[in-house]
């Protein structure tokens, strides 16, 4: 599942890193892997375009990708990003 966001300014990205850090996902760069609580994927931020792409490759059986995607969208919107 691929999720794309815009308006990911440096300020929004910092807020997002803090929000996601609360669930055990550490983001220390503009690109990397995601692995927490049985969820696996990757992310890449384009600082020039202020965009972010998150790809969810694997989720636990009891947590469908659609549900995880919805929660990620909510968090991104809460910190000021926009879904593309």
Domain count, the chain: 1
The reported pLDDT for the residue numbered 21 is 83
Q: Which domain holds residue 31?
A: 2-83
Residues 6+ apart with CB under 8 A from 68: 1, 39, 56, 59
Tell me what pLDDT residue 14 has: 95
pTM exceeds 0.85, yes or no: yes
Q: What is the CATH number of the domain that holds 44?
A: 3.30.310
Report the b/e string of 46-66 with b at 16+ CB within 10 A.
eeeebbbbbebeebeeeeeee
pLDDT tens, residue order, the chain (84 aa): 999 999 999 999 999 999 988 877 888 899 999 988 889 999 999 999 999 999 999 999 898 999 999 999 999 999 999 999
């Amino acid at each position: 599942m691929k999720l794309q966001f815009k308006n990911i300014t440096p300020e929004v990205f910092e807020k997002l890193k803090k929000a996601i850090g609360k669930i055990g996902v550490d983001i220390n760069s503009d690109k990397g892997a995601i692995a927490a609580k049985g969820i696996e994927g990757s992310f890449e931020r384009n600082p020039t375009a202020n965009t972010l792409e998150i790809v969810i490759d694997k989720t636990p059986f009891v947590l469908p990708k659609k549900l995880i995607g919805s929660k990620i969208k909510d968090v991104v919107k809460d910190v000021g990003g926009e879904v593309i």
